[in-house]
Structure 1
Amino acid sequence: MGVSYVNFSVIGFSVCLALGIAVGYWVDLATIFSVSKYVMVLVFASCFLLLLLTWLWNKKQLSPSPIFGVWVLLFFFICGFANYTLRLPKYQELHYLHQFIISENNLLQLKVTEVLKPDSFNNKYIAQVQKVGGASATGKVLVSIPKDSLSLAVDDVLLTYGTLQPVPAPKNPHQFNYAAYMKTLGVYAQMRLKQPQILTIKKGNTTIRGFSESIRDHLISKLKNTPLQTKERSILQALVLGQRRDIDKDLYSDYAAAGAIHILAVSGLHVGILYFIVLFLFKPLTYLRYGKIMRSILIVLFLWGFAVLAGLSPSVVRAVTMFTFFTFATAVDRPTNSFNTLFLSFFILLLFKPNWLFHVGFQLSYLAVFAILWIHPKLYKLYRPKFYVDRLFWNIITVSTAAQLGIVPLSLYYFHQFPGLFFVTNIVVLPVLGILLGAGLLLVFLAACNTLPGFFAEGYNYSLQLLNNFISWVAGQELFLWENIPFSKAMVLVSYLFLIRLVLLWKRFSVRRLNYCLVSMILLLAVLNWEKKQANFSEMIVFHKNRKTLIGVKQNKQLILFTTDTSTKNLQKNYPVKGYTTANSVAKVSEKTLPKYFSYKQNYVLVLDSLGVYPMGTKSPIVLLTHSPRVNLERLIDSLQPQQILADGSNYTSYVKRWQQTCKKKKLPFHHTGTKGAFTLK
């Protein structure tokens, strides 16, 4: 067998493809230059033809031309850009956005393609639009149905009428952008349906996703008849079936705080464990003629069967894809490098699913695996364990550390917290995860066959109880959980730049590498210092919060919260204040009762509550209407001559519409936080 090597061409192609997709997402060049679909296809075809001609010319040269290499990379960049852009609604002639008038009633035929985690009041689904009126259509919508009405399954086809609404943008600064997240799933509108609006429901043609969901639902129904308790059953469903919808919110938070959230998402870790289990089980086949090929085929079939069982989620599909390449490369005795396998799976998945590039799980998993392959071998050599037990624990510590180094900047950007005891969690959890996963698969199989022994179910339930108790204990060590860490996109970029230069210096010392490392460190400190200075600003903000009034006054790194609800405590730990304080590096938060009248930077703010009483002598204030005051707004405007009228989320919608018409008539600025988002005054 030859020596494996890193194929930098595959890495270059993958990176350029990803950059093209990213440019297509962030910069809408097609709109800027008014490029039609046919022009884009023509440009792509021309680039491919030029690439082919360049390749033929390059073959006749004694030495390869660098122009060819640059042109290949440029081609894959264009390929990524076109692959993403041509999937946008503007280039899909049958997309419902071209046929459907937003906010008007229409008759639609929808097919459910995915069941999402429900919120407090609604079941949520992603559905494919099949028809608008009587015409064929395409595109995905988010469907919400009250929990007390009905529930749908994948592949259900429903005929309904209703209005499409845009997926709401964030109403407060630094809030999770649900609309942007839905965009990465190809969803550009939502429907809120009630049962009378659904005219018919029938079962559509079965898809692989629907087949997978039906199997999972059947197995979950079987598990409900076992001695497993609710919390433990939900963990088993996550481990084996990839179904996390039933996990208790507090328990899920504990896993996140303990740095063990990765074991609840079926991903490369689970697939890797299963790979080595079936590799061991099918080892006797290697003694037969063509045994390696037979074993590889069985392993791939088993892994893809598990992927179907786990709902074909993006995390399990990308993991199984990578192990499929690795398995077949091993079967044919081709020397392969893990980096090649990693980037080849990355490349192929983005060709078929370019939107996956923007999924947090996709980014974190590939960064973690890359960091393990790149950093772990060097890290492992720092200590030479002699015995099996210390080799096992040393390997777990070094793998966990390498993975954390790879994902920590991106984790801080998305989650703003760092679990300091992640290595303790992994030392305890990882050695038993293979046992829990293997035993869990056996338990599910026995439950499906109605042959599950009671002692086995109770023993497995007890094991999961011990796991949950340990996770909760680790999560309770608040001293080692660093939260509310501000981390921007700029910090992510310079952090990875510094990390890369540091690892390169560690692998091979040279003066040039030391200089690069120092420059990257200076750049990191400069960005950190600049962002600290940027956080030293003052503003007044009226947050949007349903049925509540909440005003914040920020002065440098201090925030004073004013509210009319004195029963609500620790506002800084809850939505929407937590995201605001984290992003703006707020160090101290205090809470006070909202006064009826106060000033901010020579601006006077009059708060008008449900009583509707206001002083007559005040001139030119900013009037904030809260809790639906019964007031004659025209008379108030004539009397006080306000600069602006504000209405927060505590008011009735009918009142807000009436006030808006009055302000329009009086030619006075009107701001409703429920429509325009939070109001800020610098």
Structure 2
Amino acid sequence: MFPLWKESPFIRLLFPIIFGILIYKLGWKFSVNTTAVICILILVSIFLFNRLKDFIQLKLAWVQGILFHFLILFCAILICGYHDVKNDKTWYGHSFEGYDYLLIQAKTPPEEKEKTYKIEAEIFELKNEHQSKEVKGTAFFYLQKNEKSQQIRSGNFLLVRNQLKQIITTGNPGAFDYAAYCANQNIYHTAFLKSSEWITVDTLASTISSFFQSLNQKSRIILEKYIKNPDALGIAEALLVGYRLDIDDTTWQAYTNTGIVHIIAISGMHMAMIYKSVLWLLLLIPTIKNKKWAIILSVLLMWTFACITGLPASVVRAACMFSIIAFGDIQDKKSNTLNMLFASAFFMLCANPSFLFDVGFQLSFLAVLSLISFYQPIYEKVNVSNKLLDLAWQLTAVTLAAQILTFPICIFYFHQFPLLFLITNMVAVPLTTVILYLEILLICLSYFTSIGAVLGILINESILKLNEFVFYLSHLKFSVWSGIQINFAQTILLYIFLTLFVVWLKQKKANYFIYSLIIVFILSVSFMVQRIQIFRQNKIIVYNISKQKSLEFLYQNQYEFIADQSASISMKDSFYTLIPAHIFYQSQKNNIPLCAQNQTTPIELFRFQQKTIGRIESCHFNCETPIPLDILIISQKCEENIDYILKQINPKQIVIDASVPFWKIENWAEQLQSKNIPYHIVAKQGAFIMDI
């Protein structure tokens, strides 16, 4: 048994709570009340066990340990049940379909999109002409972009027409599952509203959340006043208050490619700076003689800052950890940093089990764990006498240590690894630290216009120089290793290998080295099998891209995409749909056509691997004899006349692609249900993928 289990007892508590959350998410079938009864029975068993004679308790101590771990596991399931809004009888999702209007309260200020403003809102009441019903639950609302929707503020009550629709996954291979992401936040519906479909019915309601949001907004107004360049302003807002909507996609991608995107996401580094800086300043005040009061005030101010940022998982984790450290300092006890990390994770998961599936939580937890585990051993490998060089080596050791446990999960989620992370972090971390302190000074001294102007110029120029440096490195061909595809099992195997290899380095026991080699062998076999599967691929894919005809043929590691001639694929659709799919299938564009085409209007015919595919966008055609097709794809403005189509075409499978308007889809579905032909509606069921 590793000493870690005894030195850091919270790690033993963390495993059962994680398993409990996973069991619930994988489909726990029992009700919340049943789970509560199981918890009570285990508690009673522990109580009865403690009533036994001492020598029996000592002999069967392992039984008590098992019972205690099962208690935590079932408590975790119980907590998940209470957090799941679907278990709440007052959730709007159980009864909203019978009502015409919704009374909602905006939880967030409007977020600007291309054609709409997006708000997250709490639904309080369902209404129609004859009755109303009080409910709970949150949904996303997209309001037609105009001056009226722009003026909405967090806390406003709105009466809106009930246009709620379920958030469904696109089903595109390798793409981000937005529906699962929203479900993890207990959000299952969205609505698109015209200006005539909603009105403001009450003034701003004062809540704690709206108070902190107003502080966030006031801070951004000050930054906007003194930082004139939009690109610099976006980075400044992200650094200080975690507001990232003003950072354009190109800048975000450049920071990602160079491995420093973490500096523009509020995390442990920012919280450490706030906590330690405030504590240092408070201890300089002569009237504060008791260090305990300085620590308490520092913690309160740190949590105030955390609330202003919106409490993302990484901030909550850091704030929890520093709060536990502060508690230890108050009691004058030496802190076990590793145990405190596990404790902060444990309490966060107790408060909100969905954090377990938050990428920010996972990355921040692993980064801190990596720093605690590997920073000191790496730093001690090189002895530097010069103070300046020693500072540089400390930063290098921190950067290297943080990467060890984060690179597998980064590859799993983002399919790339920044090769220049060491160079960029050496420049960006010290510079952004200075910028952050300057921003705090700017907020504190913003009433002095001349000082604010000077600080604004310094921040503006510093960020622009940083951006220039980041863009230069990101444009180098070798800046990032991209297109990497590993699955969940391979990610777990990588972590097992790292654990075994590190234990071998520390304990020098040959067994652990042999075990690590076995894991390397299993990984090699899995990659070999993956490669074999790639060269056996034969697929026909109809992507779920809104208002677009999109057809792709995949053969081995080559693909041919049949673009929509009437509307080109946007960069956004390519980035979020096509590129992830090509990484997922490890495929690249083929210069030689993979299929034979006959694009005669109004029927487009394709021949691929002995399969005949037809695509139509209107019913204005007449065939002497029915055309046999393996797949018929119905697109765009095709009239809802299935009987006429089936007289002209004899398909084995019908696919209605995402270019067909929603109002037509219901008509198509009703007609196709009466026919004995398999059909797939892309906009509802996700991308169509056929293996040949």
Per the TM alignment, residue 223 of structure 1 is displaced from its structure 2 partner at its CA by 2.8
Task: Provide the residue aligned with 1:673 in structure 2.
Answer: 682
Per the TM alignment, residue 452 of structure 1 is displaced from its structure 2 partner at its CA by 4.0
The 1:551–1:160 alpha-carbon spacing in structure 2 relative to 1, beyond 3 Å, is closer
The 1:674–1:602 alpha-carbon spacing in structure 2 relative to 1, beyond 3 Å, is same
**Structure 1 counterpart of 2:89, one-letter code:** E
Task: Provide the residue aligned with 1:648 in structure 2.
Answer: 657
C-alpha distance in 1 between matches for 2:546 and 2:404: 40
Per the TM alignment, residue 533 of structure 1 is displaced from its structure 2 partner at its CA by 2.4
**Structure 2 counterpart of 1:603, one-letter code:** K
Per the TM alignment, residue 317 of structure 1 is displaced from its structure 2 partner at its CA by 2.1
Is the 8 Å Cα contact of residues 619 and 645 (structure 2) preserved in structure 1? no
Task: Write the mapping of 1:224-623 to structure 2, written as runs, cut at 5 A.
Answer: 224-284=224-284, 291-447=290-446, 452-535=451-534, 536-565=536-565, 568=568, 574-590=575-591, 595=599, 596-609=604-617, 612-613=620-621, 616-617=624-625, 619-621=627-629, 622-623=631-632
**Structure 2 counterpart of 1:19, one-letter code:** F
Q: Deviations over 1:7-41 (max 9, x none)?
A: 3321110221122112211x2122xxxx2332222
C-alpha distance in 2 between matches for 1:448 and 1:51: 61
Task: Provide the residue aligned with 2:122 in structure 1.
Answer: 128
The 1:115–1:528 alpha-carbon spacing in structure 2 relative to 1, beyond 3 Å, is farther
The two structures, once aligned, show a CA RMSD in angstroms of: 2.7
**Structure 2 counterpart of 1:494, one-letter code:** L
> Is structure 2 residue 44 aligned with structure 1 residue 49?
yes
C-alpha distance in 1 between matches for 2:640 and 2:141: 38
Range moving further from structure 2, 55-64 or 124-133 = 55-64
Picking from 137, 140, 147, the partner of 2:138 is 140
Range moving further from structure 2, 318-327 or 51-60 = 51-60
**Any idea what SS the aligned residue of 2:412 has?**
helix
Picking from 36, 44, 67, the partner of 1:71 is 67
Is the 8 Å Cα contact of residues 116 and 143 (structure 2) preserved in structure 1? yes
> Is structure 2 residue 647 aligned with structure 1 residue 638?
yes
**Structure 2 counterpart of 1:126, one-letter code:** E
Q: Deviations over 1:75-98 (max 9, x none)?
A: 111111111123223421211122
**Any idea what SS the aligned residue of 1:524 has?**
helix
Is the 8 Å Cα contact of residues 623 and 648 (structure 2) preserved in structure 1? no
**Any idea what SS the aligned residue of 1:620 has?**
strand
**Structure 2 counterpart of 1:154, one-letter code:** S
The 1:652–1:198 alpha-carbon spacing in structure 2 relative to 1, beyond 3 Å, is closer
Is the 8 Å Cα contact of residues 370 and 405 (structure 2) preserved in structure 1? yes
Per the TM alignment, residue 614 of structure 1 is displaced from its structure 2 partner at its CA by 6.3
C-alpha distance in 2 between matches for 1:630 and 1:321: 59
C-alpha distance in 1 between matches for 2:188 and 2:540: 33
Per the TM alignment, residue 212 of structure 1 is displaced from its structure 2 partner at its CA by 0.7
**Any idea what SS the aligned residue of 2:547 has?**
coil
C-alpha distance in 2 between matches for 1:58 and 1:324: 40
Is the 8 Å Cα contact of residues 559 and 590 (structure 1) preserved in structure 2? no
The 1:116–1:614 alpha-carbon spacing in structure 2 relative to 1, beyond 3 Å, is farther
C-alpha distance in 2 between matches for 1:237 and 1:515: 50
Task: Write the mapping of 1:111-260 to structure 2, written as runs, cut at 5 A.
Answer: 111-115=105-109, 117-133=111-127, 134-148=132-146, 149-151=148-150, 152-203=152-203, 205-260=205-260
Is the 8 Å Cα contact of residues 549 and 563 (structure 1) preserved in structure 2? yes
**Structure 2 counterpart of 1:123, one-letter code:** Y
**Structure 2 counterpart of 1:10, one-letter code:** F
Task: Provide the residue aligned with 2:78 in structure 1.
Answer: 82
**TM-score by structure 1 length?**
0.92
C-alpha distance in 2 between matches for 1:296 and 1:145: 45
Per the TM alignment, residue 352 of structure 1 is displaced from its structure 2 partner at its CA by 0.9
Q: Any stretches of 5+ residues in structure 1 without a counterpart?
A: none
C-alpha distance in 2 between matches for 1:614 and 1:440: 70
**Structure 2 counterpart of 1:600, one-letter code:** F
The 1:608–1:36 alpha-carbon spacing in structure 2 relative to 1, beyond 3 Å, is closer
Per the TM alignment, residue 634 of structure 1 is displaced from its structure 2 partner at its CA by 2.7
C-alpha distance in 2 between matches for 1:407 and 1:17: 22
Per the TM alignment, residue 601 of structure 1 is displaced from its structure 2 partner at its CA by 3.4
**Structure 1 counterpart of 2:472, one-letter code:** W
The 1:566–1:533 alpha-carbon spacing in structure 2 relative to 1, beyond 3 Å, is farther
Is the 8 Å Cα contact of residues 113 and 126 (structure 1) preserved in structure 2? yes
Per the TM alignment, residue 182 of structure 1 is displaced from its structure 2 partner at its CA by 0.5
C-alpha distance in 2 between matches for 1:412 and 1:299: 37
The 1:106–1:541 alpha-carbon spacing in structure 2 relative to 1, beyond 3 Å, is same
Is the 8 Å Cα contact of residues 170 and 544 (structure 2) preserved in structure 1? no
Q: Deviations over 1:247-296 (max 9, x none)?
A: 122111111111111111111111112233234334446x9996321221
Is the 8 Å Cα contact of residues 607 and 623 (structure 1) preserved in structure 2? yes
**Any idea what SS the aligned residue of 1:447 has?**
coil
Q: Deviations over 1:418-476 (max 9, x none)?
A: 11111111100112222111111111222256564422221221111111111111211
Is the 8 Å Cα contact of residues 185 and 355 (structure 1) preserved in structure 2? yes
**Structure 2 counterpart of 1:301, one-letter code:** L
C-alpha distance in 2 between matches for 1:180 and 1:307: 26
**Structure 2 counterpart of 1:96, one-letter code:** Y
Q: Deviations over 1:588-611 (max 9, x none)?
A: 444868743222333322232458
Is the 8 Å Cα contact of residues 38 and 74 (structure 2) preserved in structure 1? no
Q: Deviations over 1:650-675 (max 9, x none)?
A: 33445555544444454433333222
C-alpha distance in 2 between matches for 1:178 and 1:142: 12
**Any idea what SS the aligned residue of 1:127 has?**
strand
The 1:116–1:77 alpha-carbon spacing in structure 2 relative to 1, beyond 3 Å, is farther
Per the TM alignment, residue 344 of structure 1 is displaced from its structure 2 partner at its CA by 1.1
Task: Provide the residue aligned with 1:37 in structure 2.
Answer: 32
Q: Name the count of aligned residue pairs.
A: 671
Is the 8 Å Cα contact of residues 418 and 483 (structure 1) preserved in structure 2? yes
Q: Deviations over 1:551-590 (max 9, x none)?
A: 2111111112222429858999544221111111114444
The 1:612–1:679 alpha-carbon spacing in structure 2 relative to 1, beyond 3 Å, is farther
The 1:13–1:625 alpha-carbon spacing in structure 2 relative to 1, beyond 3 Å, is same
**Any idea what SS the aligned residue of 1:418 has?**
strand
Q: Deviations over 1:518-573 (max 9, x none)?
A: 12222222222222223332111122323332221111111122224298589995
**Any idea what SS the aligned residue of 1:479 has?**
coil
**Structure 1 counterpart of 2:503, one-letter code:** L
Is the 8 Å Cα contact of residues 418 and 480 (structure 2) preserved in structure 1? yes
The 1:573–1:178 alpha-carbon spacing in structure 2 relative to 1, beyond 3 Å, is closer
The 1:570–1:110 alpha-carbon spacing in structure 2 relative to 1, beyond 3 Å, is closer
